Structure formats: C-alpha cells, structure tokens
Amino acid sequence: MRKKSLIPLLALAASLAAHAGWNVVAPLEANDGKWALYMDDADVKREGQRVRVSTLYDLPPTARLNVRDKEVHSIRDRIELDCGKSTYTSVGSTYIDGPMGKGEVVLALGPTPEEDVDTNGALAAIAKKACAAR
C-alpha cells in the first residue's frame, strides 16, 4: 500500500524535472546562506481563482540541508494558490540531492493543509506573480 502512495509523487517529480524555464522570484536567507526561489512561468495553470505553479528552492554551496543522511541541494514544490482567499497548499514537494532540481530524489512529500500566504515573504511574491498570470 505504501508503494502505491508514492507513484503520484514520483510522477510529479518526473514532470517537474522536465521544466527548464526557471525564473528567479526572490532571494532568501536561510541556514547561513542565500537561497534562490524560482518559479516556472510557463507552468502556471489557472482554474477560476485557483492557480497551480511549480517552484524551486536552490541552496547555495554553503547552505545544505541534511535529510535522511543525505545532502539536499534543492527543493521542487508544486503549489496551489487560492488567489481570492490568499491561501495556498503544497500539492507535493521533492527534496533533491543536486542543484537546480537535478539529481536523485532524497525525500518526496505529499499535500499539505491550506495556509495563509505570508504577505511579506517570498511566497507572497510567487502568489502575486502567479495570480496575475494569464
């Protein structure tokens, strides 16, 4: 049963890997280094007030996350925004051992509960850009 639940996440990871149109949205400070947050402008899908978009957090060489005894260099995330309510949820995230979302998947996570978009954070920049698209 556990293997069945990973199939959609692996499919998500494979589809995100195919995207090459990452554009910087915001620099971030975390874990003693500067991360970069990217968004795939070509992968914004709108349905009414809801928008899905692929994002990528890329870590600098000085800031690495250790997950399951492996170094993580980037995190790909597929998020769904409710532009009317200013909320979001992660549809699925993959933690990758290489930079810019390339390499082996170290950890795959499923959907998260809906939360408010932080008005001062990098996610607000993603929401502003994605909600204005198309």
pLDDT value at residue 118: 83
Q: Show the tokens assigned to 19.
A: 């995207």
- 8 A C-beta contact, residue 129 and residue 39: yes
Please state the pTM of the whole predicted model: 0.75
Q: Show the tokens assigned to 82.
A: 């409710």
pLDDT value at residue 83: 95
**Run of H or E including 9:** helix 2-17
Is the pLDDT at 110 greater than 60? The verdict is: yes
**121 vs 26, residue with greater confidence:** 121
Give the position of tokens 């990452």: 22
Domains by residue range for the chain, with CATH? 2-132 (2.40.128.710)
- 8 A C-beta contact, residue 80 and residue 54: no
**92 vs 7, residue with greater confidence:** 92
**Run of H or E including 130:** helix 122-132
Rounded average pLDDT over 117-127:
84
Please list the helix, strand and coil fractions of the chain in percent, rounded to the nearest 5, in that order.
Answer: 25, 45, 30
Percent of residues, the chain, with pLDDT higher than 70: 78
What amino acid occupies position 73? Answer: H
Q: For 12-57, write each residue's pLDDT tens digit.
A: 444 444 445 888 887 666 545 577 889 998 889 999 999 999 999 9
Rounded average pLDDT over 65-76:
88
Euclidean distance between CA atoms 67 and 106, whole angstroms: 7
Other Cβ atoms less than 10 A from the Cβ of 84: the count is 10
> Average model confidence (pLDDT) for the chain?
80
